Structure 1
């Protein structure tokens, strides 16, 4: 691993080896970025001096998820720049960010490794026109780019006079780029001490170094656990995260799903699913408890006493996220080795992108997207009956994925949490929720390239007010619809069990109808917990200390009774 030897994963495949060889820069990026800390701090000071107090990060996947995790975890330091992430083509989401930002006083961060990703490019086109209307030829001074050398985005940034262009190391894949310019420039603007973050990452890097025994290597050990249990049928990696860190799963979800979900196998990350009673879970689960304040300790102990495998990772403070970025990247690479796949490619992500391009070309030619039919309105009289029939297709060991092409709002997040909780408890399956098109750059690879154990419910809403994209014949609403249809075509081609649901123009009302239909899918399945309760299985808890104190990861068998009383679980979790 540390020699960056590409034959480790695909020893007999020269094509894979050539690609892997140019994707290993994440292993030593920490040392490189430690030399860039002063540069990034000076830039943040320049932005403050120029009067910018808000920034919009226009990106997708690996370019946006780490900054979002850091923003939600740390907040914004006094006097620093507040950074909001735009990773949705939903017209309402774009309009919300437009209202939040004053074009003349906002910094726009256009972030894309390849420089050719559709979403950040159309976001740039949209906001550049609005800034230009106020600032004229000086509009470029409100934009910066983060991209690889030689991309079309670098060229465009130079042509439009961007304030700054950060050229990232090309040998780093997007989902492995949290500790590069992609994650750290936005973090510095927020006022986060990126030097401290990198030093924590460095400690983990040393703890996982080439001279460390394999059983004492926290990254390698975690990857071995994930890969081995996935091969044994426990492929639903379920995150239980203390409240302050509850967005951490956004980033790990993409890292794990896109890295392992291919060649008919993979680890299914389950992020954001409310923690339930032990009887709610089957034998396809492994739990990771990311612990900061211990608010969920009691609930996790209940899972462990019930015989569920639990990996416990204790963080000292939020800056240990730097260590966790490194740990999970190494663990994912190791899990890929166990599963026998290449953890650095994403063969099916491009397929959905190509579908979208083809569908948009058809729209430009005919003025309408193709209509394959089969969309079920949430208002249909038989909606609950047909939804029940679809969900009953889920078998033991499957998961239900709800993909929602709507603007993400707190009210909708709450509804979707309730919906997935009912589905989990009633059908005894793991559940995931992804917002489109964001999830296409995350779990989309797993949906198409992983095992055929997903049951999909695709939700879409008609835009109340659409937005034009400067220089394009299609609107944001048409783009979002094309992305949803393109993803459906990819799933249908593989015979995935998929239902398309139209929420109508009122997405909130449509989701409430979905909630009512889910509640009407029958009585809860009989739980087979009675007999097992008398004699609970021994728990297996793998504890992994943080790199701050020479991290180790070891499997231990303990009695069920803790030495001291744990803090109660937080309400609502």
Structure 2
């Protein structure tokens, strides 16, 4: 069951709205979950709806998963490599005891007291070399997770690791049958190949091997989880006044009230639920005429912004009463979504996204919520553009900008680099993150402007679909450095992705031009000066 609370002001506003899609949502969900699957939606999108019954399918795979878990007990570390949902979902379903306030609390410390986590997830944004992360090559399992096996970042890291004899015998593939990764794993004698059930989009694959292997290895009772999801699924059909349908109806009313930005918040800033829900909204709903913009920032209160609602995930700092007292008047709290209820939360989000995509589309099946054409466009444009960007010595700040500060919907900072001079540690995995993030946060909080901070290459597989949508009063800032900037040492090459990121940036610039988006390209060394001039 989904438990939620709505702040008094927001609830009154939504209850007063004449926009009511409850019956339409109820009918859609009833038909969507109906085992007969004969409605036009099923027929039109049949190659994308395997996720509906994946809990039942995976329940029949429990014995095989448990056998693998027993074999894995002889290993000390588990590293998952993938892009987008392929990296997010294995962490999302990890047993909560392993993650506490951004710290992976289980792991090792070597002779230099360097922390080596038991579970580690790679999406191309990490600045720790795998050689520094791995405690013992022979006691480490490496999972390559990719639906198609075509992600160039995953393939690059995999090729680099193939040359390390002590670890190449410990590779596991999680993919679709017959994919590039499946064929590569088979020809290179991977220790194990897990083939997901067919017709499941990547970001909807939580209840496949993609999410359940890490969950089981970390100690989650996945059989209990799957049974609770199936029970929840059946309750939607049998219950007349279901809380999930009410919540979807409220979200639809929000859009009707011109509240189209959801600010996702958690007491844990690195909560994987934030990243996954942000991806689900960005990739599935951005194509609709009525869409949601999912921020992942800690700006809880913005002056004179009536288009934003805060959505709190298990927030230990705020009760509904405290939210009302602090005048966070447009807020929703999602309760009881951890531990054994996590599976229900995940399945509910999948149903919410699918329902909103259908209900808010003017023609029902006008947009497919399970594809991401702009993400695929970025892949197709890869390597087609060779224009070099100026080094720091050659870079000149834009003379003027097209940004209308007063009417900005949001700004996105799309970061294609990190620098080694100015870094600030954060707890998770004892990695470091560019201090430019702190510069951005400080300025944007002062300006009271909603913002994204997205790092390449990961964002190309998560929020990339949204950022390539032409939205009025939105501005993008693409941030980079070059290998020629000696005082700004490129640090992102630890896993062999530096050249790939450079090529992706050039492709992204051309796509932004084609889509006629508003954007600037700024050298990271000049970002602070650029923002000071801008505001």
Corresponding residue to 1:56 among 54, 79, 85: 79
Q: Which residue of 1 aligns with 2:130?
A: 97
Cα pair 1:108 1:142 within 8 Å, conserved: yes
Residue equivalent to 1:444: 464
The answer to whether structure 1 residue 230 and structure 2 residue 255 are counterparts is: yes
1:259 to 279, 284, 288: 284
- Residue deviations 1:500-527, cap 9 Å, x none? 1222xxxxxx4xx6346535654xxxxx
> Is it true that 1:282 corresponds to 2:305 in the alignment?
yes
Q: Secondary structure at the match of 1:197?
A: helix
Q: How many Å separate the matches in 2 of 1:30 and 1:245?
A: 27
TM-score, structure 1 normalization: 0.73
* Cα deviations by residue, 1:201-242 (Å, 9 ceiling, x for unpaired): 3343234x22333x5241x33333334423542111111223
Offset, 1:31: 1.7
| 1:352 equivalent among 369, 378, 382 | 378
* Structure 1 position 158 matched with structure 2 position 192: no
Q: 1:468–1:333: structure 2 CA closer, same or farther, 3 Å change rule?
A: closer
- Which residue of structure 2 lines up, in the alignment, with residue 82 of structure 1? 118
Checking the alignment, whether the CA contact within 8 Å between 1:253 and 1:443 is kept in structure 2 is yes
Name the CA shift for 1:436/1:34 in 2 (closer, same or farther; >3 Å). same
CA deviation after TM superposition for structure 1 residue 478, in Å: 1.5
Q: Shift of the alpha carbon at 1:444?
A: 0.5
Two-structure CA RMSD over aligned residues (Å): 3.3
Cα deviation digits, residues 429-478 of structure 1 (max 9, x gap): 321111111111111011113634431111123354689999xxxx6322
Aligned-pair distance for 1:392?
3.6
Cα distance change of structure 1 residues 69 and 301 upon mapping to structure 2, 3 Å threshold:
farther
1:23-44 superposed Cα distances (whole Å, 9 cap, x missing partner): 1111121122222233222212
Q: Taking structure 1 as reference, are residues 324 and 459 closer, same or farther at Cα in structure 2, changes over 3 Å only?
A: same
The answer as to 2:531 corresponding to 1:518 is yes
- Could you tell me which runs of 5 or more consecutive residues in structure 2 were left unpaired when the two chains were aligned: 1-31, 99-103, 109-116, 362-366, 427-431, 484-488
Residue 25 of structure 1, aligned match among 50, 75, 83:
50
- Separation of aligned partners in 1, 2:81 and 2:347: 24
Q: What is the match of residue 349 of structure 2?
A: 328
Q: Give the secondary structure class of the aligned counterpart of 2:277.
A: helix
Give the equivalent residue in structure 2 for 1:342.
368
Q: 1:234 to 1:316 in 2, by over 3 A?
A: closer
Map residues 48-197 of structure 1 onto 2, 5 A cutoff.
48-49=73-74, 52-71=75-94, 73-75=96-98, 82-88=118-124, 93=126, 96-101=129-134, 102-130=136-164, 132=165, 134=166, 139=168, 141-197=169-225
1:488 to 498, 509, 513: 509
Query: For residues 127 and 452 of structure 1, do their structure 2 counterparts lie closer, same or farther at Cα, with a shift above 3 Å needed?
Result: farther
Alpha-carbon separation, structure 1, partners of 2:269 and 2:294 = 20
User: How far apart in 2 are the matches of 1:370 and 1:482?
Assistant: 9
- Aligned-partner Cα distance in 2 for 1:457–1:188: 40
SS in 2 for 1:283: coil
**Any residues of structure 2 matched to 1:288-303 within 5 Å, and which?**
288-295=311-318, 300-302=323-325
Tell me how far 1:491 sits from its aligned partner: 1.4
Give a deviation string over 1:289-346, Cα, whole Å, max 9, x none: 222534465663256x4642x2221116433221110111100011101221321121
Describe the shift of the 1:2–1:467 C-alpha distance in structure 2 as closer, same or farther (beyond 3 A).
closer
Query: Do 2:95 and 2:220's aligned partners in 1 also have CA atoms closer than 8 Å?
Result: no
SS at match of 2:189: coil
- 2:173–2:192: 8 Å Cα contact kept in structure 1? yes
Relative distance call for 1:5 and 1:442 in structure 2 (3 A) is: farther
Q: 2:414 aligns with which of 403, 409, 422?
A: 403
| Kept after mapping to 1: 8 A contact 2:301/2:328 | no
Aligned to 1:497: 518
Separation (CA, whole Å) in 2 of partners of 1:414 and 1:274: 17
Q: Partner of 1:2 in structure 2?
A: 33
**CA offset at residue 199 of structure 1?**
3.8
Tell me which of 231, 238, 249 is aligned to 2:274: 249
Return closer, same or farther for 1:172/1:502 CA change in 2, 3 Å cut-off: same
SS of aligned partner of 2:519: strand
Unaligned stretches of 5+ residues in structure 1: 10-16, 360-368, 504-509, 523-573
In the alignment, is the contact (CA less than 8 A) between 2:48 and 2:199 conserved in 1?
yes
Counterpart for residue 18 of structure 2: none
Partner of 1:202: 230
8 Å CA contact 1:402–1:458 kept in 2: the answer is yes
1:478 partnered with 2:503: no
